[in-house]
Amino acid sequence: MSVLIKEKTEYTPRIVMDSNKHLIDIEGDSFPENTYDFYRPMMDWINSYFSTVYNEITTVNIEINYFNSSSSQLFFDFFDILEESVKNGSKIVINWIYVAKNESTLEAGEDFCEEFEILNINMIEKQVV
């Protein structure tokens, strides 16, 4: 059981991965200098996590307002892992959180919903006061 935390920066999101709580949180903007280097610990952690988790429901919250194309590509890989895990019996709830006026993030979430029909992706609109 492990916890991985990466603090938010101007260009990268805050990442919290807690195997005790069965929780994955990604929040912020994503423009890393090297996307694959930045996300590698997260991808390693997630591969390791889903090889050990069985009946528990894992919650994945993703709130990314702005992201570059290499981040977009990485999210496809990320969802591939989740899809594979669901096929292997894992129970995952995914919340794609977007700010009401941010249409491009809404559309990106819809793309992921269509591309990964097997996954349970909830589109959650967030109101900003």
In angstroms, rounded to a whole number, what is the distance separating the alpha carbons of residues 114 and 75?
14
Q: Report the SS3 class of residue 15.
A: strand
Instruction: Candidates 56, 84, 111, 125: give the one binding another protein (CB under 8 A).
Output: 111
Residues 51-70 within binding reach of another protein (CB under 8 A) = 66-69
Helix or strand run (H / E) with residue 2? none
Q: How far is the CB of 87 from another protein (least distance, A)?
A: 16
Which residue in 74, 70, 128 sits closest to 101, CA to CA? 128
Q: Which amino acid is at 124?
A: I
Query: Between 47 and 76, whose beta carbon lies closer to another protein?
Result: 76
Q: Judged by CB under 8 A, does residue 7 bind another protein?
A: no
Residue whose tokens read 């610990």: 41
Q: How far is the CB of 70 from another protein (least distance, A)?
A: 9
In angstroms, rounded to a whole number, what is the distance separating the alpha carbons of residues 106 and 96?
8
Q: Judged by CB under 8 A, does residue 84 bind another protein?
A: no
Q: Judged by CB under 8 A, does residue 93 bind another protein?
A: no
Enumerate binding residues for another protein (CB under 8 A).
66-69, 72-73, 76, 102-104, 107-108, 111, 115
